[in-house]
């Protein structure tokens, strides 16, 4: 088993191994004092596939397991689903010595994590990510959130899990397009500072190895900057423009696809400004195509500029963007909104 340790405001292990889901009861047993009750949170796609296995493993180790299953999809990551979970925890008399287990993709993890951060002013939780995005990104680092009518992830907190149990076998049932979306984030880690990952992705590889590299990359960043004030901003590579693309498309373009296009555009802009070498764009485009991800979108430059202006990460008239400088190398740069507009228009007219 691969064990990666995060040392942020809480120290915890991320365990990666095929088949680990069947052993989750054993792992949780080692983390808590009994008696401990468990609220297993999952969605309507994941629970029918893996719920029974997780519940059986936990019950075998003597845990009293309750479940909270909500309709799959981003539209459930809202205050109504969260309030439903809070009420369920209260109704079942959960106490501070009890625990939440999040079994699913990033939506389940973010919502269950936020419930854990807030119920009784915080109870422990464990992440069991089942989507590629959740394995390499959302389950690591303790960002929890729900969406509001005003935008995505607007209410949330930093709250670290007690452990992450990652079983790459669960990816076998993940729809191909959703797997591809997760690959955009994998490629992102390579572009930021892992040229060796880009090389691996060009060939054939085992998902478990690639997940480990990405988790280590995110762990290193989170250990240094848990609260997103410095180096954690590198994880936004391609994301300022991606958020604009998602918004301009009324969220019809999925996040991973928007990130793919965002990475291409910002890399082209960096090359145009003389800050990045051409080979970085070549390898990026090759990997995106290999993973059925787009290089372009047909929304207009103006639409994208307007949407990018609303970015949550904007501070006054300035925004920090991640600019690639070469293959597997990047830098943070604070630019004005005017410069961002010019940059977008510059690559659009080509």
Closer residue to ligand NAD in complex, CB, 168/343 = 168
> Beta strand pairing status for 64-70 and 318-326?
unpaired
Residues that bind ligand NAD in the complex, under the rule CB under 6 A: 43, 45-46, 49, 72-74, 77, 104-108, 110, 130-131, 133-134, 137-138, 141, 143, 152-153, 170, 173-174, 178
In this structure, what token pair is assigned to residue 332? Answer: 């943070």
Task: Select 238 or 305, whichever has its Cβ closest to ligand NAD.
Answer: 238
The residue among 134 and 319 lying less far from ligand NAD, judged by its C-beta, is 134
Least Cβ distance, residue 57 to ligand NAD (angstroms): 16
Q: Indicate the residue among 157 and 339 with the shorter CB distance to ligand NAD.
A: 157
Q: Nearer Cβ to ligand NAD, position 41 or 134? A: 134
Q: How far is the CB of 40 from ligand NAD (least distance, A)?
A: 15
> Which residue in the shown chain puts its C-beta closest to ligand NAD?
106
Sequential DSSP letters for 235-250: GGTTHHHHHHHHHHTT
Residue 99 CB, shortest distance to ligand NAD, in Å, is 19
Taking the complex as a whole, the smallest distance from the CB of residue 74 to ligand NAD amounts, in Å, to 5
User: In whole angstroms, how close is the CB of 184 to ligand NAD at the nearest point?
Assistant: 10
C-beta separation of 217 from 26 below 8 A: no
Separation CA 20–CA 27 (nearest Å): 9
The angle at the Cα of 101, spanning 98 to 103, to the nearest 5 degrees, equals: 165
**Smallest distance from the beta carbon of 294 to ligand NAD, in angstroms?**
17
> What is residue 158's three-state secondary structure?
strand
What does the block give as tokens for 178?
């959703």
The span from the CA of 341 to the CA of 281, in Å, is: 21
- Distances in Å between the alpha carbon of 43 and those of 130, 167, 211, 332? 11, 17, 23, 37
- Nearest to ligand NAD of 129, 324 (CB atom): 129
């Amino acid at each position: 088993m691969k064990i990666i340790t995060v040392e942020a405001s809480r120290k915890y292990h991320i365990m990666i191994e095929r088949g680990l889901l069947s052993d989750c009861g054993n792992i949780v047993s080692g983390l808590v004092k009994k008696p401990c009750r468990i609220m297993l949170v999952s969605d309507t796609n994941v629970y029918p596939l893996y719920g029974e296995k997780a519940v059986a493993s936990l019950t075998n180790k003597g845990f009293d397991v309750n479940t909270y299953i909500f309709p799959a999809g981003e539209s459930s990551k809202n205050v109504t689903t969260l309030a439903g979970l809070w009420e369920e925890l209260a109704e079942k008399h959960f106490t501070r010595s009890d625990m939440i287990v999040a079994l699913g993709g990033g939506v389940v993890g973010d919502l269950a994590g936020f419930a854990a951060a807030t119920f009784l002013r915080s109870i422990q939780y464990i992440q069991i990510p089942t989507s590629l995005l959740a394995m390499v990104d959302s389950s690591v680092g303790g960002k929890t959130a729900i969406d509001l009518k005003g935008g995505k992830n607007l209410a949330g907190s930093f709250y670290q899990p007690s452990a992450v149990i990652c079983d790459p076998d669960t990816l076998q049932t993940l729809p191909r397009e959703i797997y591809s979306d997760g690959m955009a984030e994998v490629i992102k880690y390579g572009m930021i500072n892992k040229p060796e990952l880009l090389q691996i992705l060009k060939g054939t590889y085992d998902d478990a190895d690639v997940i480990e590299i990405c988790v280590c990359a995110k762990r290193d960043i989170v250990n240094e900057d848990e609260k997103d004030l410095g180096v954690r901003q590198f994880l936004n590579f391609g994301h300022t423009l991606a958020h604009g693309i998602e918004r301009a498309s009324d969220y019809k373009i999925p996040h991973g696809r928007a990130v793919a296009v965002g990475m291409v555009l910002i890399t082209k802009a960096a090359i145009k400004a003389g800050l990045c070498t051409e080979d970085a764009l070549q390898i990026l485009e090759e990997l995106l195509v290999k993973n059925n991800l787009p290089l372009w979108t047909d929304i207009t430059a103006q639409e994208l500029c307007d949407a990018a202006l609303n970015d949550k990460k904007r501070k006054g008239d300035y925004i920090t963007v991640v600019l690639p400088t070469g293959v597997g190398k990047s830098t943070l740069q604070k630019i004005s909104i005017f410069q961002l507009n010019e940059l977008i228009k510059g690559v659009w007219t080509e």
